[in-house]
């Protein structure tokens, strides 16, 4: 990993951890550290920090890592993690929910339910932050973040704070035009009037369905590959005989074969190599080259045990 000299990292009111662990909190629980793990105190703090930061230093936001493989060599530069002060939620007129970028999807969905706002129930099933959902255009059950987002507030890499209407985010399937190095610090979502009991029942249904079909208690990264147009990635993976396939300490989930698992001692290289094996087997079997949905970040260090 490149070594930054101390003067290139400006001071901030939050915290800066050199070599801060990402494996401690990301869902896969493996991979290398951040060169600098930064937790800003508030938007002004983040903005001042980024405007003073050497433009050559890469900046990468992370949420709770429910869609991340962090490579074993770690992440050069600054990794931004939004602390609890960025997790506030407020209900606004017109069935709107304003959420900090660090607020969890389930908390946003629950606040909407309590306020009688329907349409945000799907966020109950996505175990990431509002910022991650805006960036990934996270979705489930036929709805996605683009359907409910009114606008998002970003702190750009140079420290400027801007509020972008959803239309400017160039949404498509699991993709947005959130610029590289920009941090989503707030999102304004809109729903429609609904009945609290009915919304709650739908959220319970989603939770039960997830529990039955996904390895929720495992070290995983969610859906590994995007669904190709008109197809389901899991079906292609199953048909190619990859269910349960292992490499080093990593395995294709038996329960849902578009999920990869860290069985306990997997390196990030094991997990990524297993994903590439799956892609190759699916290509050979069906002619479809699956596209990664999981974001792979950081540097390799060649430590695969497989």
Question: Which amino acids are annotated catalytic?
Answer: 174, 223, 293
Q: How far is the CB of 96 from ligand FAD (least distance, A)?
A: 19
How are beta strands 34-39 and 75-81 bridged, if at all?
A: parallel
Q: How far is the CB of 93 from ligand FAD (least distance, A)?
A: 25
Q: Is 60 in the site for ligand FAD (CB under 6 A)?
A: yes
| Binder among 62, 120, 146, 240 for ligand FAD (CB under 6 A) | 62
> Is the CB of residue 152 less than 8 Å from the CB of residue 172?
no
Q: Is 156 in the site for ligand FAD (CB under 6 A)?
A: no
d(CA 237, CA 275): 10
| Binder among 107, 214, 227, 258 for ligand FAD (CB under 6 A) | 214
DSSP state of 166: G
Question: Structure tokens of 42?
Answer: 């508030």
Binding mask 6-35 for ligand FAD (x = CB under 6 A): ---------------------x--------
What number of CA atoms fall less than 13 Å from residue 216's CA on the CB side? Answer: 13
DSSP state of 169: G
Cα 142 to chain centroid, rounded: 19
3-state secondary structure of 277: helix
Q: Is 252 in the site for ligand FAD (CB under 6 A)?
A: no
How close are the terminal C-alpha atoms of the chain, in Å? 23
User: In this chain, which stretch among 199-207, 220-228, 230-238, 282-290 interacts with ligand FAD, using CB under 6 A?
Assistant: 220-228
Q: Point out which residues bind ligand FAD (CB under 6 A).
A: 27, 60-68, 82, 101, 125-129, 131-133, 135-136, 138-140, 178, 183-184, 214, 216, 220-223, 295
């Amino acid at each position: 990993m490149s070594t930054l000299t101390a003067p290139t990292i400006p001071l901030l009111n939050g915290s800066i951890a050199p070599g801060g662990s990402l494996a401690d909190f990301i869902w896969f629980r493996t991979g290398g550290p951040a060169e600098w793990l930064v937790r800003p105190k508030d938007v002004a703090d983040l903005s001042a920090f980024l405007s003073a930061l050497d433009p050559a230093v890469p900046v990468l936001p992370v949420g709770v890592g429910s869609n991340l493989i962090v490579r074993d060599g770690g992440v050069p530069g600054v990794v931004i993690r939004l602390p609890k002060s960025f997790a506030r939620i407020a209900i606004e007129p017109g069935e709107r929910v304003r959420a900090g970028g660090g607020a969890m999807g389930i908390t946003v969905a629950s606040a909407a339910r309590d306020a009688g706002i329907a349409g945000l129930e799907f966020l109950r099933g996505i175990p990431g932050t509002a910022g991650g959902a805006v960036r990934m255009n996270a979705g489930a059950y036929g709805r996605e973040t683009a359907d409910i987002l009114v606008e998002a507030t970003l702190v750009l890499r140079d420290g400027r704070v801007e509020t972008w209407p959803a239309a400017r985010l160039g949404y498509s399937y699991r993709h947005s035009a959130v610029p590289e190095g920009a941090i989503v610090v707030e999102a304004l979502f809109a729903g429609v009037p609904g009945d609290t009991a009915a919304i709650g029942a739908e959220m319970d249904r989603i939770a039960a369905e997830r529990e039955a079909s996904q390895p929720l208690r495992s070290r995983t990264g969610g859906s590994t590959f995007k669904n190709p147009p008109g197809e389901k990635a899991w079906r292609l993976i199953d048909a190619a005989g990859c269910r349960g396939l292992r490499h080093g300490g990593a395995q294709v989930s038996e329960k849902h074969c578009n999920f990869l698992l860290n069985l306990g001692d997997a390196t990030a290289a094991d997990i990524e190599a297993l994903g590439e094996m799956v892609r190759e087997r699916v290509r050979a079997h069906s002619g479809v080259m699956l596209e990664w949905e999981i974001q792979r970040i950081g540097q390799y260090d060649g430590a695969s045990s497989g």
